[in-house]
Amino acid sequence: MFFAGKKSQCQNVSSSDDSISHTHTVSSHSATEGASDFSDDSSVVHMDSEQVAHVRSIMTRSKTRMALMRHHLSNGQRVLHKTRCRISGSFLILGLICSVCVIFEFSRQESLEEMGALHTSKYIDQAVFGILLYFFQISCCCLAPMADDPRLTRWALLQLCLVAMLAAIFLVAPTLLTYLENVERQNFSEGSCELYGREAPTTVCDMKFVQLVLRLVSLGVLTFANLVVTFFQDAGNMQRAMWRIATIFISMELSAILLYTVCVAVEMHLLDPMSMRLIGMVPALILSRMKMVRSKVQILISHILRYRNNRAAAAGIAGLVGNCSISEVMHQAKKRFRSVDFSKLEDRELATNQPSPAVFALSQSVKLGCCDAFVSHSWHDDAPAKWEAMSCWRYRFETKRKRPPQIWLDKCCIDQNDIEADLRCLPIFLSGCSELVVFCGPTYLSRLWCIMELFTFVHIGGKPSDINVIPILRRGHELEDRSAMRQSFLDFDVLNCECFNTSDKEKMLDIIQMAFGDLGKFNESVRGILHAIDWMRTCPREWLSPSSMGSPVPSKSPLSALSSPIPKGSKGFPEVPDDSPIPSIPSPRKRHVARTAPRPDSPASPASPMVGSSPRLPEDSPIPSMPSPKEYQWLN
């Protein structure tokens, strides 16, 4: 097809089937605003019937994929909402029950306090109070909200504030006032006071006063800090602050009670009933300090309320979209979807992942479905090898389509002024591309965003056949890189994947855990996708003489000058079979031996000379000898 004025394929396609079928002429009314810069002569593309049918099939497939994507997102949001209601509802109901029990314990402690003397019921009462207030109440409130739910997080903070205020008003403050009244009535000139019906040293009474003041201060800190945190906007920041505040509160309470208990034990040789609160305090402190323990608790609840894997996958994809409605996300995606002409890119664009306004200006807004490929790659792979692999893919695309490819590349198409909005639209961007091209190097499976791109493309309706996996292998290190890729596949674990932004990793892991209930199930799902696309297959390799290509090989861009097709009769080095391992380049000494003598287990062919030409290798040869890079051009 002839493309005029650098317009993309879909920008030049009219929505009217009648005009296409009668005139085979497509007007540019569906082009973007930038299309007005072109002249009238270049705004019309003439196509034959075969090209018209091809364009129609592209548009039909794009509409079908968008409809499937909308269906999957809608279904995923419903599943995600039900999952949140189940998990969060379970914790909230348990927290409310604990709140009622704590209020009951408030009144019970007042009646027991009036009894004065020590009884077994006091120890039991303090143990139950510590378990209900510190462990169940605080833990359930903090575990109830999901990672991306700011509304429920605020409710949890307010509930903690309410319980802290009740404890301060109806428990600690009355106890402190009663203590001060007793101090005024008693005569401290003798150096003693009364405690639990016994005579206690003044040191114990003073320590009790310090303990009550510290507990009152800790409840005030908990109330005030949680009220301040409710004004935060980001759910992740709110939850991190909520757990820090809970840690500070429990630490202050534990220190106050521990000091008082030790003082009573040393001075009066008895165990204070308040020490039984440590039964609930210590587990609550461990839970607030260790995120891994909290994750295991949520996994346990998710196992009980789990869904099937396909519904969990839909929920995980919906979690990337966030709390936005589907119509809102679709509207944002249509405005923000961009692509870049591969012919405008150079190798320096892939040398670093630092954003650049000039690189972003290379891309242009296009309609969903008008992008040839979504490029998924890792910035930690070797940049020259990646550029060579991308250039090979571009050359093959241009040979087949007679035009440069339009691609979605993160550095060119993500608006750095609003990264969060573009990442929210990632599932729609993936469905708006014809295929997913994965440039896989040794570090690809260790990057979490790469895994999410691959996972999302499959579960929004993409077919494994639409995923093109192209390995990134450094010259002279092919076997080493291939071995690293294989090992990364065998050792794949999403928990070991990394992100440039740590908060992104925490958010995505929380979404995956909430949807699947267990990171191991997500790992199995990703491995299933990798098996479906035949991840570890050996891609065909060709080594061709530069002279047969008709043009020299430039040093900067090894395939940018490849414009002529490969002659069928060229006598370059023979092609490596599809099932052959990755070829390695032998040393000059081994290459000289290979050209002067046949292999001992291979019969010499009398028809082919042994000197001055490449030897014919046996079919079971594990590693075929390859010519020097200076002599031949390597194509993926």
Q: What is the pLDDT of residues 212-250, one digit of tens each?
A: 899 899 999 999 999 999 998 888 788 889 999 999 999
In this structure, the answer to whether residues 392 and 434 fall within a common structural domain is: yes
The reported pLDDT for the residue numbered 511 is 77
Same domain? For 53 and 131 the reply is no
- Judge whether 110 lies within some domain: no
Q: How far apart are CA 88 and CA 105, in angstroms?
A: 25
**What does the alpha-carbon distance between residue 437 and residue 376 come to, in Å, rounded to a whole number?**
6
d(CA 264, CA 267): 5
Q: Is 545 within a domain?
A: yes
Give dist(CA 68, CA 76) in Å, integer. Answer: 12
Residue 476 — left, alpha, or beta (φ > 0 → left; ψ -120 to 50 → alpha)? left
**Which is nearest to 210 in space by CA: 269, 255, 266?**
255
Regarding whether 435 and 372 lie in a shared domain, the answer is yes
DSSP sequence for 267-312: HH-S--GGGGGHHHHHHHHHHHH-HHHHHHHHHHHHHHT---HHHH
Determine, yes or no, domain membership for 453. Answer: yes
Tens digit of pLDDT for each residue in 39-81? 333 334 455 666 566 656 666 666 666 777 777 677 777 777 7
Quick one: three-class SS letters along 115-176? HCCCCHHHHHHHHHHHHHHHHHHHHHHHHCCCCCCHHHHHHHHHHHHHHHHHHHHHHHHHHH
59-89 per-residue burial string, b: 16 or more CB within 10 A, e: under 16 = beebeebbeebbebbebbbebbeebbeebbe
The rounded distance, in Å, linking the Cα atoms of 72 and 427 is: 10
Domain shared by 270 and 124, yes or no: yes
Q: Which residues contact 197 (CB under 8 A, 6 or more apart)?
A: 116, 117, 118
Residues 593 and 558 in one domain: yes
Task: Tell me the C-alpha distance between 125 and 222, whole Å.
Answer: 23
Residue 450: inside a domain: yes
Q: Do 490 and 554 belong to one domain?
A: no
Of the candidates 515, 532, 549, which is a domain's last residue?
532
Give 493's strand partners. Answer: none
pLDDT of amino acid 48:
64
- Is 347 in the same domain as 440? yes
| Residue the block writes with tokens 């892991």 | 509
Residue 275, token pair as written in the block: 């020490």
For residue 199, being part of any structural domain is answered with: yes
Q: Which residues make Cβ contacts (< 8 Å) with residue 513, sequence separation at least 6?
A: 295, 298, 299, 302, 519
- With H, G, I as helix, E, B as strand and everything else as coil, classify residue 612: coil
The domain total for the chain is: 4
For the chain, how are helix, strand and coil distributed in percent, rounded to 5? 60, 10, 30
Domain membership of residue 88 (yes or no) is no
User: Is residue 368, in this structure, part of any structural domain at all?
Assistant: yes
On the 0-12 / 13-18 / 19+ scale of CB atoms within 10 A, 177 is exposed
Domain boundary at 532, 565, 594, which? Answer: 532
Same domain, 136 and 230: yes
Q: Could you tell me if 137 and 276 lie in one domain? A: yes
Separation of alpha carbons 178 and 167, rounded Å: 16
pLDDT of residue 308: 53
Phi, psi for 309 (deg, rounded to 5): -65, -40
Low-confidence residues in the chain, pLDDT < 50: 1-45, 114, 189, 538-636
Residue with tokens 């339009």: 406
How big is the chain, counted in residues? 636
pLDDT at 578: 46
- The owner of tokens 């007007």 is 27
Same domain, 124 and 259: yes
The pLDDT score that the predictor gives to residue 589 is 41
The Cα–Cα gap between 147 and 320 comes to 12
State the virtual CA torsion across 70, 74, 79, 85 in degrees, nearest 10. 150
Is there a single domain that holds both residue 275 and residue 332?
Answer: no
Same domain? For 578 and 626 the reply is yes
Domain that holds residue 442: 320-532
Residue 313 lies in a domain: no
Nearest to 73 by CA among 507, 524, 424: 424
Domain boundary among 497, 532, 567: 532
